[in-house]
Amino acid sequence: MHVQGRTGAPLSLVEYGDYQSPEAGRAFGVVERIQLHYGDRLRFEFRHFPLVDAHPRAMPAALLAEAAADADAFWGMHALLLTHQDQLEDGDLARYAERFGLPDTGGRREHHERVLHDMADGRARGVEGGSVFFVNGLMHEGPNDFTALSGALGVSEG
């Protein structure tokens, strides 16, 4: 589990995402904007949900993110992967690992287990794909843009 924000924050936003998904790429900037808007009132959590059939590079990218997490560099790698979705081939991932001083691109058993755990949790909550958000525990049904997500958070606030 990868969390930004304080534990007792009154607002919660959880994303199940896929590093190769265009929706997740677009949502990255939206989440950053929401975090700036709500500040310490928001707790954001990212969980892996790679759609391996549609996006074959999503799983290797998720494993690299987990390798980065072992080095306390998850969020930096997360940002790099989502802003370079068109550069997720093995050579690209190897360069990213080197940039972060990682020994490899991930893929150890515990990396797979963490990704598979997120996926199982997502499926149990009704996630089927794309970039899916939960606002204060409830699946967000609208678009994943700033207006819709911040509106859902604003409604949940009061």
31-67, pLDDT tens digit by residue?
Answer: 999 999 999 999 999 999 999 999 999 999 999 999 9
The mean pLDDT of the chain is: 94
| More confident: 27 or 156 | 27
What digits encode the pLDDT tens for the residues 62-73? 999 999 999 999
Query: What are the domain boundaries of the chain?
Result: 2-157
Q: What does CATH list as the number for 2-157? A: 3.40.30.10
Ordered alpha helix ranges (H), the chain: 22-38, 58-70, 74-83, 90-99, 109-124, 146-157
Q: What is the pTM of this model?
A: 0.94
- In this prediction, residue 158 carries a pLDDT of 38
Over residues 120-130, the pLDDT tens digits come to 999 999 999 87
